[in-house]
Copies of this chain bind each other. A is one copy, B any other.
Amino acid sequence: MSRPTKHDPERGDARTRLLEAARDIVRTQGFAATSVDQLCRAAGVTKGAFFHHFASKEALGVAAAEYWAETAGTLFSTAPYHDHADPLDRVLGYVDFRREIIAGDIGEFTCLVGTMTQEAYASHPAIREACAAAIFDHAATLEPDIAAAMKARGIVGEWTPTSLAAHTQAVLQGAFILAKAADDPAVAIDSVDHLKRYLTLLFQTPSKGRTT
């Protein structure tokens, strides 16, 4: 055990390590099934440190959602799909980028805030709000490109950029659930392919494509 003290920086401070532990463990076990002790063990800190940084387990959940939104924000804002000249290519490039991420271990590509939403939407309003912000703020980053693609092609469909952006997130979240159920990422990739096909059909339609 040697000397446990001396403020060992190791990898980041205690708060960040707890947030990263939450990201990894909550994604595979869920929020309720993850105990504070387990988080502390994984982060290599004591309970005292936990409750120094977070007022409660719920507060940790909120912070984890915010941390998730932050890291995802930089991941996607620096991704290469923004380089395409055509706005539709940027949207399709986003879907391709999401598709690439889906591989390997399920606990590593699935979405923390989607998982937490399911458990916390009724019992922990603060967590629900933080998750909603993470999801819909991320969706909002797609709206300008969708709107530009609509304008460029003169599309005036009965749907809005907001609802289409939200739909992309719904497909992704649902794909994650199916991948977890099937214990196989392939089914998630199939759904993302269907999403890309939808976007392509939507924007290649010469007429308005009335359906409803």
Residues of A within 8 A of B (CB): 28-33, 106-107, 113-115, 117-119, 121-123, 128, 131-132, 135-136, 159, 163-164, 166-167, 169-175, 177-178, 180-183, 187-188, 190-191, 193-194, 196-198, 200-202, 204-205, 209, 211-212
Contact = CB atoms under 8 A, between A and B. Distances in A.
B183 A166 contact: no
Given A122-B107, A212-B196, A181 B29 contact: no
A106 to B, nearest CB: 7
Nearest to A34: B32
A159 B181 CA distance: 21
A113 B209 CA distance: 35
A212 B193 contact: yes
Interface of A is mostly: helix
Contact of A32 (B30, B122, B164): B30
B122 A29 contact: yes
Contacts of A201: 198, 201-202, 205, 209, 211
Nearest to A193: B212
Nearest to A92: B211
Given A118-B118, A166-B190, A197 B174 contact: no
Contacts of A115: 118-119
Contacts of A164: 194
A187 B166 contact: yes
The 10 A-B residue pairs with the shortest CB-CB distance in the complex, in nearest-first order: A174-B174, A170-B174, A30-B119, A32-B33, A173-B174, A32-B32, A121-B180, A132-B181, A198-B198, A201-B201
A119 B181 CA distance: 10
Contact of A170 (B119, B128, B191): B191
Contacts of A194: 159, 163-164, 167, 198
